[in-house]
């Protein structure tokens, strides 16, 4: 039951992330509206000044981070399904946790690199007045990198525990 609830919340989280990505680049929200959703490092007003090729390039630069996050969340959903079936220390479950940690780490690193890369591409590739070139790393992103490293350690511990359990079965 708990895994089902977490999987439902996971699906909601992915849906919200995709919706924010689409809304931040679509320009479909009113310019003077109460709610403004913009891509990291770029205001809504700056995004609206981009023509279609510039916006497409910016979307293409932001898409890998979103896709990596979606892949990681899909692997987490599969991990939760395995845990729900009682296969907590199964090789596949350990692999799902490792893939989730790797994809989440990749998504985080890509999201850190995307705003300065976007500024470079817009400025030098299109000659557009792009936002200033700056690299920003928040404490949340650093914490997420640390948590991903911790997940890698946990997967190694799970794998070693599984190996020892299999070795002990041979002695019995």
Which of 36-50, 56-70, 156-170 is most confident? 56-70
Position with higher pLDDT, 74 vs 42:
74
Name the residue ranges covered by the structural domains of the chain.
2-171
- The two most distant CA atoms of the chain are separated, in Å, by 72
Interatomic CA distance for residues 104 and 65, integer angstroms: 9
C-alpha 168 chain-centroid distance? 38
For 85, residues 6+ apart whose C-beta sits below 8 A from its C-beta are none
What pTM was computed for the model? Answer: 0.86
Q: Which of 56, 74, 64 is nearest to 126 (CA)?
A: 56
Interatomic CA distance for residues 147 and 138, integer angstroms: 14
93-151: pLDDT as tens digits: 999 999 999 999 999 999 999 999 998 898 888 876 656 667 788 899 999 999 999 99
The pLDDT, as a whole number, for residue 172 is 59
């Amino acid at each position: 039951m708990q895994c089902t609830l977490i999987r439902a919340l996971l699906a909601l989280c992915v849906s919200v992330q995709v919706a924010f990505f689409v809304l931040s680049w679509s320009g479909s929200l009113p310019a003077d509206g109460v709610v403004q959703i913009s891509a990291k490092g770029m205001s809504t007003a700056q995004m609206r000044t981009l023509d279609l090729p510039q916006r497409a390039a910016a979307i293409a630069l932001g898409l890998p981070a979103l896709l990596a996050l979606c892949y990681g969340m899909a692997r987490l959903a599969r991990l939760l399904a395995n845990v729900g079936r009682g296969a907590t220390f199964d090789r596949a479950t350990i692999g799902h946790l490792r893939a989730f940690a790797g994809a989440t780490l990749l998504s985080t690193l890509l999201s850190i690199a995307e705003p300065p890369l976007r500024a470079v591409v817009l400025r030098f590739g299109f000659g557009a007045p792009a936002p200033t070139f700056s690299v920003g790393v928040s404490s949340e992103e650093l914490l997420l990198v640390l948590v991903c490293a911790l997940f890698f350690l946990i997967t190694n511990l799970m794998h070693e525990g599984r190996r020892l359990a299999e070795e002990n079965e041979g002695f019995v």
